[in-house]
Structure 1
């Protein structure tokens, strides 16, 4: 029996693909560098939020809009999809299981409860505002777990089109930025201690960078607990995505049994059409969590991983932001904006309740 043959991609085709992607990838590099530079000057503005904003500007200014919609589009779409997944893998290096367990079982149960209630509540609110199921799922995932990273993970496992992630990413960025300005103003009226404020921030603000920008206004003790609580939410990304993959696979299997296969006169039974239960990049994320938890990595390696993760997600978020057209967003996004604000308020209330129970006064 002859050995199995595998398709070989011609070198010329690979060069052509790289030539298509290069303009968009090179466009993202100076944009992300600008986002980091602005963050260094104004630390309250997270670099990831700035990357999305710069993408929005690039898409809607007269000169650059033509470029990002034309020659640069393939590379920007590649960034929004594939670099996002790579960034999620490296994000696992931020999560240490001993740090998470150090919160105690009561705190872990409260955080898990906030995530589940936030997810269900946000999905319900989005559907109440008559948003599509896919958009509602992505908004609920991003708001309840870890912002744009969670949206990218859920979109991948549910095979949701890249273009359909743009509005949820814009909304989660907007509401996370809103939290940076609003939550610190409520510290004194609500008479919150720095520790309670930090737990509230970690339990309710969407993106890790936005959590840091918000919590640092109350000092180092608030920042320390905010990061651990937030990263506990991040680690729940894996089981949530796995559950979504299981449900998607079950649905696909049921549909295959009902769909006649015209070529064979029977029913489709191949598993090739089924989505994976857990995508490879989620397994990579879990592997990075385990690696971080072993304590083998030096601070230098962790700093390098953090820089790589921010670069990858910055490129991905710039690519996603560059797909947003303000006119389209204003025309179709009014109901989505109201749903997002209602969800943001719900999560803030849930997070504050959990923080008050988690940190005794």
Structure 2
């Protein structure tokens, strides 16, 4: 008599268990995208991005309705695994040739500003007594690429859904304010188009927001802003890798403290560095080597965006709005002060390069 294979029904059961929750998250995503399309129809552009709308709608639903147990596996899967896949696909948006096109001086200055902004923003967060993970999320969102950075870093540092939702909500609101006010600052400072593009690329959170902030100024501003912004996005990989190393070392130290063991075995690479960080770097290398067809890039970007929106809907459905509101003032203060520092650093770099 043939032996049965117990692993097959177990795996099928695991797959089927996530389906209802994923469908629920997809429904919230559809609603968010519909609202975004309505914005475009009414105002000509989406002032609030679909990513933000998904988490806001999800949180609003969660505040009046608790998802039943049948939905929870799919919500957890959407919030973590789908987000990790989106991070991998994000690596295809950056190539070495694109980065080098901005010149060594501006490239080095951009990397330095990201590093300083990370440190200062984290310091501000801790000074105002935010938890470490929340301070890290805000610092990465401010210095790198807003919602995408927060979403990518969250699984690396094991951030709670409430922390992710709060960081994204306040960063998103301020991001819209920046898009609206940055062109006015450029006019007041009488900045040339190239310099204004650099300012936008260094300070605006998301790539679509860079386009919104620079297109009214001109094509040159849009091109320079987009290039600088892509360099900031590129920093997401090394930052996630560094945070993964820090988390691994911290867990190792905790293990030593608990067991009082004289020696801890080496940590496998798969546990030291999350798989999606490795995937991000490999995808970026493949793009740089021309292994990814150019025609496939828009599709990959669209899939990454869709998965990110679904994961944000899942985070919203996992978030207690009351917990976010309790820490709202401090988070808003940290995000605002961090952005002011970032704008100051960007203007300083522009002035310095103009003198060389």
Normalising by structure 2, we get a TM-score of: 0.87
Q: Quote the residue 2:335 is aligned against.
A: 340
- Structure 1 residues without counterparts, runs of 5 or longer: none
Residue 347 of structure 1 deviates from its aligned partner by 0.9
State whether structure 2 residue 224 is matched by structure 1 residue 225.
yes
Residue 315 of structure 1 deviates from its aligned partner by 1.6
Residue 146 of structure 1 deviates from its aligned partner by 1.5
**Which residue of 284, 288, 291 corresponds with 1:289?**
284
Residue 325 of structure 1 deviates from its aligned partner by 4.7
Q: Cα gap change, 1:95/1:360 in structure 2, threshold over 3 Å: closer, same or farther?
A: farther
Q: Cα gap change, 1:309/1:270 in structure 2, threshold over 3 Å: closer, same or farther?
A: same
Q: Cα gap change, 1:315/1:161 in structure 2, threshold over 3 Å: closer, same or farther?
A: same
Contact 1:87 1:310 in 2 (8 A): yes
Q: Quote the residue 1:302 is aligned against.
A: 297
More helix by share: 2
Q: Quote the residue 1:313 is aligned against.
A: 308
The whole-number CA distance in structure 2 between the counterparts of 1:55 and 1:222 is 31
Q: Quote the residue 1:45 is aligned against.
A: 46
State whether structure 2 residue 73 is matched by structure 1 residue 78.
no
Runs of 4+ residues over 6 Å off in structure 1: 272-275
* Counterpart mapping for 1:64-143 below 5 A: 65-66=64-65, 72=71, 74-143=73-142
- Structure 2 residues without counterparts, runs of 5 or longer: none
The whole-number CA distance in structure 1 between the counterparts of 2:15 and 2:280 is 30
The whole-number CA distance in structure 1 between the counterparts of 2:268 and 2:92 is 32
Q: Cα gap change, 1:272/1:211 in structure 2, threshold over 3 Å: closer, same or farther?
A: same
Give 3-state SS (helix, strand or coil) of 1:206's partner: coil
The whole-number CA distance in structure 1 between the counterparts of 2:68 and 2:345 is 40
Normalising by structure 1, we get a TM-score of: 0.86
The whole-number CA distance in structure 2 between the counterparts of 1:287 and 1:46 is 33
Q: Cα gap change, 1:80/1:270 in structure 2, threshold over 3 Å: closer, same or farther?
A: same
Name the Cα RMSD after superposition.
3.0
**Which residue of 327, 346, 352 corresponds with 2:347?**
352
The whole-number CA distance in structure 2 between the counterparts of 1:71 and 1:46 is 35
The whole-number CA distance in structure 2 between the counterparts of 1:153 and 1:271 is 26
Give 3-state SS (helix, strand or coil) of 1:259's partner: helix
